[in-house]
Amino acid sequence: MSPSKLESNLKRKLRRHIDAIAGSDHDVAKGLDSVGYPSPRVRAAGFETLLSIIVSQQISTGAAQAIWRRLVSMLPELDAAALLDCDPRDLRSAGLSGRKVEYATGLAQSIVAGQFEPDRLENLDDEAAISEITSLRGFGRWSAEIYLMFSLQRADIFPADDLALQVALQKLKQLPERPTAKRAREVTARWRPRRSAASLFLWHYYRGAPA
């Protein structure tokens, strides 16, 4: 399937899912009238995306992009073996912290040793795939959920620890305070099995909802 056709199919699917949620949730319907539909997000499955997740942790988007460009220029191939061949000092010079160098090399070592196989995630259910990813150092549940949403295109993922989602949910539902992750999961349970679409909508609403 061509990239343009894939994007078109994902856009139609995303809109169907959001329409289905809006059909039974007045707050979502009202928010949809206000900000419109989000765009789908697609990232390649495999080492490159997992490495980029490590790079982007706890830093600004601009800083992550700058570090990523330096890494791309440094590595002959964006694969696990190439990263292991790289001197850790060079990874530090690209902008990775010492801890992130440990996470990145740990990921690469696990892949090269066959202990972690990204392709295998396709055949696992959501919780099993999340468990596989979080067994790696440096990957918490949020990171795993983001990978499942964008790289595996799983339909029912809600990264409840995400601050922007919590803020958007508070505003959309006019909650008296920002919900905890537990409370956010409770509020969004009614959106199963389309919570990935709901997450994309809430991020979109977070950026574009009127004050």
How much is the pTM?
Answer: 0.91
What's the mean per-residue pLDDT of the chain? Answer: 95
Whether the predicted pLDDT of 107 surpasses 80: yes
Q: How does residue 1 score in pLDDT terms, banded at 50, 70 and 90?
A: low
pLDDT at residue 4, as a whole number: 74
Question: Quick one: what percent of the chain has pLDDT higher than 90?
Answer: 92
The CATH code of the domain at 47-150 is 1.10.340.30
| Fold match between domain 3-41+157-208 and domain 47-150 | no
pLDDT at residue 5, as a whole number: 80
DSSP string, the chain: --HHHHHHHHHHHHHHHHHHHHTT-HHHHHHHHHH-PPPP-----SHHHHHHHHHHTTS-HHHHHHHHHHHHHH-SSSSHHHHHHS-HHHHHHTT--HHHHHHHHHHHHHHHTTS--GGGGGGS-HHHHHHHHHTSTT--HHHHHHHHHHTS--SS---TT-HHHHHHHHHHHT-SSPPPHHHHHHHHGGGTT-HHHHHHHHHHHHHH---
pLDDT at residue 211, as a whole number: 60
Copy the structure tokens of residue 195. Answer: 């919570």
Whether the predicted pLDDT of 209 surpasses 90: no
User: pLDDT per residue over 47-58, tens digit each?
Assistant: 999 999 999 998
pLDDT at residue 208, as a whole number: 87
Q: How does residue 170 score in pLDDT terms, banded at 50, 70 and 90?
A: very high
User: pLDDT per residue over 88-103, tens digit each?
Assistant: 999 999 999 999 999 9
Instruction: Identify whether the C-beta of residue 142 lies closer than 8 Å to the C-beta of residue 163.
Output: no
Domains of the chain, by residue range, sit at 3-41+157-208, 47-150
User: pLDDT per residue over 120-151, tens digit each?
Assistant: 999 999 999 999 999 999 999 999 999 999 99
**What distance in Å separates the CA atoms of residue 19 and residue 194, rounded to the nearest whole number?**
10
Query: 3-41+157-208: what fold?
Result: Endonuclease Iii, domain 2 (1.10.1670)
